[in-house]
Amino acid sequence: MQWLRLGRILIVAIRFGLDEFVLAHSALRWLRPFTRVATFWRSFDLPRGARLRRALEDLGPIFVKFGQVLSTRRDLIPVDIADELARLQDRVPPFPSDQVLSTLQRVYGRPVDQVFARFEREAVASASVAQVHFAVLPDGRECAVKILRPGIGRIIGRDLALLDTAATLAERIWPDGRRLRPREVIAEFRKHLHDELDLVREASSASQLRRNFQGSPLLRVPEMFWDWCSTDVMVMERMHGTPVSQVQQLRDRGIDIQKLSRMGVEIFFTQVFRDGFFHADMHPGNILVADDGQYIALDFGIMGTLNDADKSYLAQNFLAFFRRDYRRVAQAHVEAGWVPPGTRVDEFESAIRAVCEPIFDRPLKEISFGKVLLRLFQTARRFNLEVQPQLVLLQKTLLNIEGLGRELDPDLDLWRTAKPFLEQWMSEQVGWRGWWRHLRDEAPYWAATLPQIPRLVHRALAERPDADREQQLLMRLVHEQQRQTRLLVLACAILAAILAGVAGLLLV
C-alpha cells in the first residue's frame, strides 16, 4: 500500500512539473529526458507556485493541510510559492453518516438518539481532520458536534512517513535543501496535526480563550459541554452569526464595518499582549459576526502562546520600527538571544534599515505589520537567527487579521489602532506598574521561602562543618534574603502610607 501511495505521488509530481524542483541538481540532470515523455499531460502553462498548489490539492486533504502550514513559513520558502499556497482551501467531502453514528456509539456506548434529543445526519462543515453536525442536547440546548474522521490517525501517519522521506531526500539533493530545513517543517506540521487529533485539547483551548474574554464586548467564544467531550468528539454551544467575509450582508444588518475592523485589531493585540494566548487560525472561515456586532470565534485546533520575553521582543520591535529606531530593533534581537552574541549590532542595524526604510515612503495606514515582521525574520536569518515557532504562528495570524481588517475597511490605520496597546503594555512592564506586579507575583514565593532559610542554613552547617566556602555562600544567601525581606517590608510600608494619605485626602 505504501508503494502504491508513493507511486501516485510521483505521477502527480511529474504531471504538474514538480520534478524541476529536484532535477535542477546537477547530479540528477540525466533523469530529465525520462520525465519529458509525459509532456502531453503536464501542466507547464502555470507558474511553479500554482503547479505545486494544484498537485497538493490532487494528492488529498493531508497534503492540502501541509501546504497551508508551509505557506506560513515565508521565512523558509520563496514569496511566490508562499502566496500561492496561501490560496489552498480545506474543502473535503463529508464522510458517510453511518460512520458518524458508529463513532458516536463507540464513544458514548449507546445509540446517538439516546445521547442527543436531536442529531442532524447531514454535516454542516467538513475538513481534512473532522466534520461538524448540529444537534440538540437532552436539556434543549443547541450544540455543534465535531467528530474526527475514522482512521485519520493511520492516514496521517502514512503520509507523514512519506513526507519525512521526501524531506530527507530534498536535503541531500536539492541545492537549497539544507538551508530551507524541510525536516524541521515536517516536524512542525506533525505537531500541529497531532494537536488537532485530540479534541479534548482543542476544547480546553477554547475554554481558556472563552475565560480570557468573559464579559468582553469584543469576542464571543462557544461554551464547551464537557460531559459530552472526548478525544474523538467535541460538543460545544451552537453559535449564530454571519460569516465575516459576507460584508454586504453585515451592512444590511446594520453592522458598523469600520468599527468591526478596528475591533478585529483590538482582539488580536489583546490576545497577544494581555493574555499571551492567541487563536492562530483566524481566517474568515473561522469567524462569525453576531447581530450585535460582536465577533464569534470558531475552530480552536491551532493556538499560539507567548511568554513575557516574546511579548517584550514584539512590543520593542513594533515601537522601535515605527520610530525608525533601527538600532533598538537590532539590539532587541541580540538581547532576546535569537542571534549569536557576537553579532555586530551596527551591521545588523544597517541591514534592517535597508529593508525597512523604503516602507516609510508610504502612509502609515498602508504599512503591513505582517510584512514588517516577515522582513525582520528574513533579514535576521542572514545573521543566523533561529526563527521561533510561536512567532511564525503569530506572523501567520497577524497577516490574517490585517488582511481581514483591510478587507472590511481599506482605510484602516493599523498602527494608530495598535499603538495604544503597545505603549500601555510597555509602561506596565518597565514602569512602576511593572515593579508592583513583579513584587506581587513574587510575594507568595518569598512568604513560603523566608521562614525556611534559618533551618536550611543550620542543617547545611551541621552536615558539613568543614565546608568553609559553602558556609560563606550560605551566609551571603541569608543576608540577601534578609535584605529582600527589608525591601519587601519597606515597599509595603510605603504603599500603606500612600494609601493612608489618599484616604485622608478623600475624608477631608
Using DSSP, state whether 388 is helix, strand or coil. Answer: coil
Cβ atoms of 223 and 254 within 8 Å: the answer is: no
164 is a catalytic site residue: no
CA distances from 469 to 292, 367, 459, 461, 488 (A): 69, 59, 15, 11, 29
Can you say whether the dihedral through the CA atoms of 32, 35, 37, 43 is positive or negative?
negative
Backbone angle region of 215, left / alpha / beta, with phi > 0 → left and psi within -120 to 50 → alpha? left
What whole-number distance in Å separates Cα of residue 112 and Cα of residue 102? 9
C-alpha 160/C-alpha 162 separation (Å) is 5
Beta strands in 69-218 (DSSP E): 118-119, 125-126, 130-136, 142-148
> Could you say which DSSP state residue 502 is in?
H
Are the C-beta atoms of 126 and 180 separated by less than 8 Å? no
Contacts of 138 (CB under 8 A, 6+ apart): 116, 117
Beta carbons within 10 angstroms of residue 415's beta carbon? 17
Displacement of CA 318 from its chain's centroid (Å): 18
Residues 408, 417: Cα–Cα separation, whole Å: 15
CA distance 96 to 98: 5
Catalytic residue among 281, 299, 310, 409: 281
Strand-strand pairing, 219-220 and 142-148: unpaired
CA distances from 488 to 441, 481, 493 (A): 12, 10, 9
For residue 436, which amino acid is it? W
Residues involved in catalysis? 281
